[in-house]
Structure 1
Amino acid sequence: MENLSKIKQNQIKLQLRYKQLIEQAYNLRETDSAMSDISEFKAIKLLNKLNRLRYLSREPAKKQLL
């Protein structure tokens, strides 16, 4: 159970950072396209980590009886 709470806390932290990077990429799009691309790349890497954490923190499927 403790591991699950650590995963959830890490997810929240990564989600906030992901949103910041996406916003930064959007804001830089017109002025500095290279920095925008870098921010977007970092955001994509974070999204990949978030997806892995979502997989780890998912609820176990309940067996259905026939």
Structure 2
Amino acid sequence: MKKLLEIKSHQTQLQTRYKQLVEQAYNLRQTDHALSDISEYKAIKLLNKLNRLKYLNRETSRPKTMA
């Protein structure tokens, strides 16, 4: 159970950082294309991590069925 809470906490932190990076990339789009691209790349990498955490969380919270 403690591991689930750690995963959720980490997931929340990553989501916050992802939103910041996407907003930063959007705001820089008109002024500095290179920095915008870097922020967008970092956001995509974070999104990949978030998707993996979502998958792990789904696997651990799924009730085990008897076969």
Fold-level match, TM-score > 0.5? yes
Q: Which runs of 4+ in 1 moved over 3 A?
A: none
Amino acid at match of 2:11: Q
Structure 1: state its 5+ residue gaps. Answer: none
Where do residues 55-66 of structure 1 align in structure 2 (5 Å cutoff)? 55-58=55-58, 59-60=61-62, 63=65
Give the TM-score normalised by structure 1: 0.90
Deviation at 1:62?
A: 6.0
Deviation at 1:44?
A: 0.2
Give the TM-score normalised by structure 2: 0.89
Deviation at 1:12?
A: 0.2
1:28 lines up with 2:65 in the alignment: no
Where do residues 1-66 of structure 1 align in structure 2 (5 Å cutoff)? 1-58=1-58, 59-60=61-62, 63=65
Q: Number of matched residues? A: 63
Structure 2: state its 5+ residue gaps. Answer: none
Identity %: 68
Flag the structure with higher helix content. Answer: 2
Deviation at 1:15?
A: 0.2
The alignment's C-alpha RMSD in Å is 1.1
